[in-house]
Amino acid sequence: MPILLLVIILGIVEGLTEYLPVSSTGHLILATELMGFDAERWALFNIAIQPGAILAIVVLYWRTFVDVLTGLFRRSPDAWSFTRNLAVAFLPAAVLGVVLGDQIELMLSNAVIVAWALIIGGIGILLVERYARPQECGGVANVTLRQSVMIGIAQTLAMIPGVSRSGATILGGMSFGVDRKTAAEFSFFLAVPTLSGATALQMFKHWDEIPEGELAWIGLGSLVSFVVAFVVVKAFLAIITRFGFAPFAWYRIVAGAAALVWLSMR
């Protein structure tokens, strides 16, 4: 397969799955393996194209970011609560990412871990959908400090490839009483510092390992992921409002089981 086509496919997969509770990292690993490429060789590329998906959130919610920034200067309680909530939710992943970075990298090429994580995560989603009793919060600024801390702790589970960062944060929020829409938007906003930090850390550690000419491929992959993520985020909110998360749970279970069968037959 031509590298250009692989880069476009990986960009589509990143943009399509980053904000859905299905694990973008897991899908990128499986997609690379499925197309016959070395997942370890493309692990850094898969992280490096995340800025495209990050930019999609910044563009879609630019007014919110501007309002929060100006509100901080005006000492608006809502702006400070919004910022505080994201900061405390970001902290657990930031600390563990630095401390366990090498161990996490070792899992980024293990497709079997991804397959099992997809299945277990799907079952977890069904359980949360059935038993969680979220209450209307009215926005990220109204999430409590305790709920924000628990969402941050839940996000650390996504360091296991296949778990899904968005799934862990959204369902973690719902488990602690946050309504679906607010939990989803909390996850979107939390993605900006989390993915930015993860990308910056990996690029800093492995800059010398990037093959000559690959920066252009990273730029193209980021552009593709931005366009796709921009479309997907709007559709995602409409889907979960109407159908909840069960469709994503069943998809995860089927995809994970199919991946295990395929991996065992290679």
- Say what the pLDDT of residue 39 is: 61
Sequence length of the chain is 266
Phi, psi dihedral angles at 135 (to 5 degrees): -115, 150
**Alpha helices of 100-213 — where are they, by DSSP H?**
101-107, 111-131, 145-155, 165-175, 180-206
Mean pLDDT of 97-121: 78
Q: Take residue 210 and report the two structure tokens written for it.
A: 């990037």
Q: In angstroms, rounded to a whole number, what is the distance separating the alpha carbons of residues 244 and 230?
A: 20
Q: Which residue shows structure tokens 């800059």?
A: 207
Q: In angstroms, rounded to a whole number, what is the distance separating the alpha carbons of residues 152 and 185?
A: 14
Q: In angstroms, rounded to a whole number, what is the distance separating the alpha carbons of residues 48 and 65?
A: 23
Q: pLDDT over 70 for what percent of the chain?
A: 93
- Say what the pLDDT of residue 38 is: 65
Grouping H, G, I as helix, E, B as strand and the rest as coil, residue 37 is coil
Mean pLDDT of 250-261: 94
Q: pLDDT over 90 for what percent of the chain?
A: 47
CB atoms within 10 A of CB 204: 8
Q: Take residue 103 and report the two structure tokens written for it.
A: 């161990």
Mean pLDDT of 134-151: 92
- Say what the pLDDT of residue 136 is: 86
pLDDT tens per residue, range 35-71? 776 666 667 788 888 889 999 999 999 999 999 999 9
Tell me the CA distances in angstroms from 63 to 59, 169, 187, 234, one per residue in order: 9, 23, 17, 15
Rg of the chain's alpha carbons, rounded to an integer? 18
